[in-house]
A and B are shown apart, each in its own frame.
Chain A
Amino acid sequence: MPYISNTEKQQQEMLDAIGVKSVEDLFKPVPKDFAPASFRIPKGKSEIEVRQHLHALASKNATGLTCFLGGGFYDHFIPSAVDALVSRSEFYTAYTPYQPEISQGVLQAIYEYQTAICRLTGMDISNASIYDGGTALYEAAMMAARITKRKKIIVCEGVSLIYRTMLRSYTKNLYLNFVEVPVSPNGTADREKIFREIDKDTAAVILQNPNFFGCIDDFSDIAQKAHSAGALAVCSVYPISLGLLKPPSEMGMDIVTGEGQSLGLPLSFGGPYFGFLATTKQHVRQMPGRVVGRTHDKEGRQGFVFTLQTREQHIRREKATSNICTNSTLNTIAATIYLSLIGKNGLKEVAALCANKAGYACQKLTRIKNVKKKFAAPFFNEFVVELPIDANNAVSALIDKGFAPGLPLGRFYKGMDNCMLVAVTEKRTKEEIGHLKEALEGVLKDE
């Protein structure tokens, strides 16, 4: 039997030691009438067969497409050393580090991760991670409601539609009141409408930078307005963009979250990724999830431990700040390794490459007749183009030509049937962008 070490002889020796005849005797506490009604599971396979089967399944997926698809999840470069290091099984076969003396590796890596997130976002404190960017934003909303003891959450529609639908689902059973505010015609947060919504019952204003359409903003004025009403400002950010863009701390954000996939993790059909959550010193005790602190042993040697655990479910049970237990540690280690390899100057360069190439792609695509840039606001590495035809049709035609050209927005936003969200990372070349332009031109001509 695979993965079971004991031979039948050893099993018999153990049964003898216990003083029972058979393994069935050990299942005596289970009443007879609890036996499975059925158990139709195929016979076990060999490693060769499983490998063949999964190879066949993997090859049914298209991987040759040139990727201009983003929407919060990007095809970035991952240095080889990232996977080589997180494949160290001392990391990946460990449990949550409950015993610090034999878990300094993971604990120090988490402390380094917390440091990297703080330096990237400019915030004071980061937790040890949430599952993904969406659940991190949900935790931020809950945190804001706890801190302010208020119920109204204002969400700018520039926030990922995926995250907004998640927020709506999670709060269906709660007293929280969600108000979604459309973006202004230039693609950025609509100040007038947001300011009108901010009131004495507002717990938080939730924003995203760059927003779902790729547009860049400086939310300082919104944060200020929120604060003057006693509300918090929350922002979801794209970490790669922070190589170039103003950190959310400088805009006065109280809680900052984001999706970590772009920091060295493969797309892997949606996960596993990780979400980050950072905040100010003032709010640390309302923060969800684990956090690592630096301390020392009796001999004065530096060491790391989980700390402020009285916020957590294993101590506080129903009064905990969150129910989170398992998070995404291995992926945060991958991100820390990625950020170390890319480094201070590299991150700036990656961000600049993304922005330059996106700028070029936008220029190229909008030179096609009847293809227009949808929003006037400046963008980072993603932008919306308006086509003369339904974007779904253009996309399916371009898929046949070997591109994942972007995300059609009609399904998600009213009146945007002809719009397509195009993302460009440092991996795309001038040549590929040129080919996309030619292919799109061809598709539009055929229509």
Chain B
Amino acid sequence: MKLIFEKGVKGRRGVKLPECDVPVKFDIPRNFHRANDAELPEVSELEVVRHYTELSRRNFGVDNNFYPLGSCTMKYNPKIDEEVCRYKGFTELHPLLPQLRHGGMLTQGALEVIYNTERLLSEITGMAEFTMQPLAGAHGELTGTMIIAAYHRDKGNKKTKIVVPDSSHGTNPASAAICGYSIVSVPSNSEGMIDYDAFVKAIDSETAAVMLTCPNTLGLFEPEIKKLAQKVHEVDGLMYCDGANMNAILGKVRPGDIGFDLMHINLHKTFATPHGGGGPGAGPVGVVEKLRKFLPISLVVKRNDGTYALDYDRPSSIGFIAPFYGNFGIILRAYCYILMLGKEGLARVSENAVLNANYIKEKLKKYYQVAHDPIACMHECVFSSVKQNKNGVHTLDIAKRLIDYGFHPPTIYFPLIVKEAIMIEPTETESKETLDAFIETMIKISQESESEPETVKSAPKTTPVSRLDEVAAAKDMDLRF
């Protein structure tokens, strides 16, 4: 398919602009001007609409079919959220308005949305307060690490290390390293859990924090968190919770109750805001009481008279981490979602997410090796394709073959500690019929890997392109037209 830059003809226009109605021509000296026009497309509105409609048809979203991408929580994104975030009262609001005198009163509705969402998240997680500013999960981790550093600086602690399990998301060590910490990576045990003794050994007086995903990246719950938190707190370290897997424990466990001091939540995972093909998301960070004063500037506060205001007077704060108040449009969607579900609904989310994952695990464990087989997994289950490897069929091939059958593949080759990992997260929004169809397909592919391995290895066949040459891409570096 052609690029938009290859379409159109010279002089063609997409949209019409108003004629200039002022009697003044700008007064900008020639030497500041652009010598050559930026070579943007010259296409009609219809060409643009056809082009991007065609591109959208070459894409796959949750609205198309089952999208069991482990660790990403690809649940259904309710349509009411999309409607509400387009209300003019929200879209037309300039972010600098509340910084004008009397301007704060002009944005009371928006401030209330942020305030209410913050309160709800704090109650859901057992944290004292959230900053709604972080613009994505990793941005939340960075904010969290900055808060950790501020805490230790405030207490005069000399801390140099952050401890993570080897099954952690890559963003965890990357975020900690950016803040100047060295990373200690602790191997998991044979059950896929943190190795408690190894962890305790890794913790010493220079440990600034331990970062854990809860439940962990294998979809398992770590029962020793409380014990570990105690050890970390003994050296005045902090417990950071990567909340990427919060969908498993809504209404069941609150990180703030079990020893975590701070955490981020991915609104684009647990709280159903769409992922937009890779963003924008939002990664609010919640903290316990002792870390509140370090939260970024500004915070939305409720005054005694019931109005809302922005608090900038925060001398211990880590400062500004985003231009304004967070990804407001995303916060708004999450707010609607939480209101719709309510207390009961949130608990049902996790129950059904866990039920769906265990159902898949149970139905597929005869065919694919389960990475670790505890009593029950949480919201996702991890398999390995080692059984299928003997005919030269690998996890990548199985993933590609699923595409031919109309499914989005699961997460593959993560966590790194599982050989040939296949990580399936069905989410609560999928029906038994969909799960059964997926299960049948997975079984069929397992059989195909015996009977016709070449078919599996050469998949997908049904897509506009087959497997692409990534080696050539990396060597040629054709990154623009």
| Interface flags, A94-116, vs B, CB<8A=1, else 0 | 11111111111110110110111
Q: Which residues of the partner chain A approach B175 to less than 8 Å between Cβ atoms?
A: 323
In-complex Cβ contact of A119 among B21, B23, B38, B180 (8 A): B38
In the complex, A439→B327 CA distance in Å? 34
Give every chain B residue within 8 A of A330 (Cβ-Cβ). Answer: 274, 276-280
A83-B49 Cα distance, complex, nearest whole Å? 11
Residue B146, interface by CB 8 Å:
yes
Q: In the complex, which residues of chain B have a beta carbon less than 8 angstroms from the beta carbon of A378?
A: 27-29, 32
Contact B180 A341 (CB under 8 A): no
- Which of B14, B21, B67, B93 contacts A269, CB < 8 Å? B93
Chain A residues with CB under 8 Å of B296's CB are 169
State whether the Cβ of B367 lies closer than 8 Å to any Cβ in chain A.
no
B474 to chain A, nearest CB (A): 5
Whether A91 is near chain B, meaning CB under 8 Å from some CB there, is yes
Chain B residues within an 8 Å CB radius of A290: 278
Residue of B31, B45, B327, B428 with most chain A CB atoms under a 10 A cut-off: B327
Chain B positions 309-361 with a Cβ under 8 Å from a chain A Cβ: 318-330, 332, 336, 338-349, 351-352, 354-356, 358-359
Interchain CA distance A39-B57 in the complex, whole Å: 42
Cβ contact of A295, chosen from B34, B37, B476, cutoff 8 A: B476
CA distance A312 to B142 in the complex (A): 15
Contact among B136, B328, B432, B466 for A10, CB-based, below 8 A: B432
Given contacts A58-B87, A266-B92, A297-B468, contact A29 B220 (CB under 8 A): yes
Known contacts A100-B465, A270-B95, A330-B277; is A246 also within 8 Å of B183 by CB? no
- Could you give, for residues 230-258 of chain B, a 1 whenever the CB lies within 8 Å of some chain A CB and a 0 otherwise? 00000000000000000001011110011
CB of B106 within 8 A of CB of A75, answer no
Do A38 and B275 touch (CB < 8 A)? no
Cα distance A344–B279 in the bound complex, in angstroms:
27
With A36-B253, A346-B13, A400-B102: A270-B480 Cβ-Cβ less than 8 Å: no
* Closest chain A residue to B26, Cβ basis: A355
Option from B142, B348, B465 in Cβ contact (under 8 Å) with A303: B465
Note all chain A residues with C-beta closer than 8 A to B1.
104, 108, 302
Q: A284-B477, A345-B13, A396-B102 are known contacts. Are A267 and B62 too (CB-CB below 8 A)?
A: no
Q: Which residue of B lies closest to A317 (CB)?
A: B173
B441 within 8 A of A: no
Q: Report if A60 contacts B (CB, 8 A).
A: yes
Q: Note all chain B residues with C-beta closer than 8 A to A315.
A: 170
Q: How far is the CA of A120 from the CA of B38 in the complex (A)?
A: 5
B418 at the interface (CB under 8 A from A): no
Stretch at the interface among A148-156, A192-200, A222-230, A237-245: A237-245
- CA distance in complex: A67, B14 (Å): 26
Q: Mark A318-354, 1 if CB is under 8 A from B, else 0.
A: 1110111111111101001101111111111110110
Q: Is the CB of B60 within 8 A of A328?
A: no
Bound form: Cα–Cα A378–B82 in Å: 42
List A103-154 residues whose CB lies under 8 Å from chain B.
103-106, 108-109, 111-112, 114-116, 118-120, 124-126, 128-129, 131-135, 142
Whole-angstrom CA separation of A169 from B42 in the bound complex: 42
Cα A128 to Cα B277 in complex, Å, equals 12
The answer, yes or no, to whether B89 is at the interface (CB within 8 Å) is: yes
Q: Smallest distance from the beta carbon of A405 to chain B beta carbons, Å? A: 9
Q: A179 an interface residue at 8 Å Cβ cutoff?
A: no
Verify B469–A296 contact, CB threshold 8 A.
yes
A106 touches B277 (CB 8 A): yes
Knowing A14-B359, A346-B13, the reply to whether A104 touches B55 (Cβ < 8 A) is yes
B466 to chain A, nearest CB (A): 5
Whether B156 is near chain A, meaning CB under 8 Å from some CB there, is no
A168 and B101: CB pair below 8 A? no
Highest count of chain B CB atoms <10 Å: which of A97, A284, A290, A295: A295
- Closest residue on chain A to residue B91 by CB atoms: A266
Assess whether B187 is interfacial by the CB under 8 Å rule: no
Closest to B64 in A: A90
- How distant is the Cα of A165 from the Cα of B298 in the complex, in angstroms? 12
Chain A residues in 8 Å Cβ range of B29 = 378
Q: Is B27 within 8 A of A359, CB to CB? A: yes
Assuming A4-B429, A111-B480, A168-B319, is B258 touching A360 (CB within 8 A)? no
Contacts of A343 in B (CB 8 A): 12-15, 40-43
Distance between A150 CB and nearest chain B CB, rounded to angstroms: 16
Tell me the A370-389 residues at the B interface (CB within 8 Å). 378, 380
Of the candidate stretches B199-207, B373-381, B383-391, the one touching chain A is B373-381
B5 contacts across to A, CB distance below 8 A:
112, 115
Given A270-B326, A407-B100, A327:B136 Cβ within 8 A: yes
Report how far A169 CA is from B143 CA in the complex, Å: 10
Say yes or no: A347 contacts B28, CB within 8 Å. Answer: no
- B327 pairs with A341, CB closer than 8 A: no
Contact A339 B341 (CB under 8 A): no
A interface footprint on B440-481 (CB within 8 Å = 1, 0 otherwise): 000000000000000000001001111111101110111111
Q: Given contacts A270-B95, A326-B278, are A45 and B340 in contact (CB under 8 A)?
A: yes
Task: Determine if B278 and A91 form an interchain contact, defined as CB atoms under 8 angstroms apart.
Answer: no
Smallest distance from the beta carbon of A217 to chain B beta carbons, Å? 8
Q: For residue A168, which residues in chain B have a CB less than 8 angstroms away from its CB?
A: 319-320
- Residues in A with CB closer than 8 Å to B322 are 131-132, 134-135, 166, 270-271
Could you tell me the distance between the alpha carbons of A168 and B296 in the complex, rounded to whole angstroms?
A: 13
Listed A/B pairs (13) with beta-carbon separation below 8 Å: A4-B352, A18-B362, A29-B374, A29-B375, A44-B342, A57-B112, A94-B278, A115-B481, A131-B280, A166-B322, A298-B466, A312-B170, A407-B100
Closest 10 pairs between A and B when the two form their complex, measured CB to CB: A44-B342, A58-B89, A270-B324, A169-B319, A330-B276, A105-B59, A93-B61, A60-B109, A270-B95, A355-B26
